[in-house]
């Protein structure tokens, strides 16, 4: 399915994967002046965090994900605010 033209949102991490720090920047590239929520899931599908964001005129936003309260493991970071939002896998190491 080609999602070009849909209000798709791209997310990326502003650091290394695996994450060994206490927090990491999550960058969002989406439609201008849009609001959304980044959700973080563990492997069982349980929501372990939510980060609201609002993009600027250029469609970019940045938010901090604090991972210090999470155990080592694999997590999924997903933008739940658009039809064609990204999902990325992230490893947290303690």
Domain boundaries, the chain: 10-92
- Supply the pTM of this predicted model: 0.85
Which pLDDT tens digits describe the chain residue by residue (94 residues)? 444 445 578 899 999 999 999 999 999 998 899 999 999 999 999 999 999 999 999 999 999 999 999 999 999 999 987 666 789 999 999 8
Cα separation, 7 vs 21, in Å, equals 32
Helix (H) or strand (E) holding 10: strand 10-13
The secondary structure of 32-85 as a DSSP string is: TT-EEEEEEEETTS-EEEEEEEE--TTSEEEEEEE-TTSPSEEEEEEE-SSTT-
Q: Which CATH number fits domain 10-92: 2.40.50.100, 2.60.40.2550, 1.10.10.10, 3.30.70.270?
A: 2.60.40.2550
């Amino acid at each position: 399915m080609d999602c070009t033209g849909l209000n798709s949102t791209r997310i990326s991490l502003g650091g290394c994967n695996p994450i060994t720090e206490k927090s990491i920047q999550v960058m969002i590239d989406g439609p201008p002046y849009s609001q959304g929520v980044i959700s973080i899931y563990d492997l069982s599908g349980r929501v372990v965090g939510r980060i609201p964001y609002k993009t600027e005129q250029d469609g970019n936003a940045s938010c901090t994900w604090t991972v210090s309260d999470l155990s080592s493991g694999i997590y999924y970071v997903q933008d739940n605010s658009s039809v064609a939002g990204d999902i990325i896998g992230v490893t947290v190491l303690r």
